[in-house]
Amino acid sequence: MLKTLMKSIGEYRKVTILTPVLVIGEVIVECLIPFIISTLVSEIQQGCELSVIMRYGGLLIVMAGAALLLGWAAGTTCAAASTGFARNLRRNMFYSIQGYSFANIDKFSTSSLVTRLTTDVTNVQFAFMMIIRTAIRCPLMLVFAFTISFIMAGSMSFIFLFTIPVLAIGLILVIWKTVPLFRKVFKKYDRLNESIQENVQAMRVVKSYVREDYEKKKFAAAAEDVCADFTRAEKILALNSPLMQFCVYAASTLIMGVGAYVIITTRGTDLDVGQLSALLNYSIQILMSLMMLSMVFVMITMAFESAHRISEVLQEKSSLTSPPNAVTQVKDGSIDFDNVNFRYSQHAERMALSNVNLHIRSGETIGILGGTGSSKSSLIQLIPRLYDVTEGCVKVGGIDVRDYDLEALRNQVAVVLQKNVLFSGTIKENLRWGDQNATDAELVQACKLAQADEFIRQFPKGYDTYIEQGGTNVSGGQKQRLCIARALLKKPKILILDDSTSAVDTKTDALIRKAFREYLPDTTKIIVAQRVASVEDADRILIMDGGQIVAIGNHEELLASNPIYQEIYESQNKGGKADE
**Angle of CA points 87, 92, 94, to nearest 5°:** 95
Stretch among 151-160, 261-270, 522-531, 554-563 having the lowest mean pLDDT: 151-160
Give pLDDT, residue 526: 93
> Which stretches within 154-272 are classed as H helix?
163-201, 203-208, 212-237, 240-266
Query: Is the predicted pLDDT of residue 578 greater than 50, yes or no?
Result: no
Stretch among 76-90, 258-272, 419-433 having the lowest mean pLDDT: 258-272
pLDDT in tens, 140-163: 877 777 777 776 665 666 666 666
- For residue 31, the surrounding DSSP H or E stretch is helix 13-45
Give pLDDT, residue 382: 92
pLDDT in tens, 402-412: 999 988 998 89
3-class SS at 348?
Answer: coil
Which one, of 336, 474, 329, 468, lies nearest residue 403 by Cα?
Answer: 329
Give pLDDT, residue 235: 77
471 forms beta bridges with none
**Mean of the pLDDT values across residues 281-301?**
73
Give pLDDT, residue 579: 43
Query: Is the predicted pLDDT of residue 577 greater than 60, yes or no?
Result: no
Give pLDDT, residue 262: 72
Query: Is the predicted pLDDT of residue 48 greater than 50, yes or no?
Result: yes
Distance of CA 17 to the CA centre of its chain: 27
Distance of CA 171 to the CA centre of its chain: 31
Whether the CB-CB separation of 431 and 489 falls below 8 Å is answered with yes
Amino acid identity for residue 139 in this structure: P
Cα–Cα distance measured from residue 34 to residue 43, given in angstroms and rounded to the nearest whole number:
14
Proportion of the chain above pLDDT 70, given as a percent: 91
Q: Dihedral sign for Cα 217, 222, 226, 228, please.
A: positive
**Mean of the pLDDT values across residues 57-67?**
90
Cα–Cα distance measured from residue 335 to residue 545, given in angstroms and rounded to the nearest whole number:
21
Give pLDDT, residue 91: 92
Query: Is the predicted pLDDT of residue 575 greater than 80, yes or no?
Result: no
The larger pLDDT score, comparing residue 160 to residue 318, is at 318
Q: What is the mean pLDDT of the chain?
A: 83
Which one, of 274, 271, 270, 256, lies nearest residue 46 by Cα?
Answer: 274
Q: What is the distance between the terminal CA atoms of the chain, rounded to a whole angstrom? A: 60
**Mean of the pLDDT values across residues 512-519?**
84
Give pLDDT, residue 83: 93
| E strands in 486-565 | 494-498, 524-528, 540-545, 548-553
394 forms beta bridges with 337
Strand arrangement, sheet containing 335-342: 353-360, 335-342, 391-396, 399-400
pTM recorded for the entire structure: 0.69
Which one, of 395, 396, 393, 389, lies nearest residue 375 by Cα?
Answer: 389
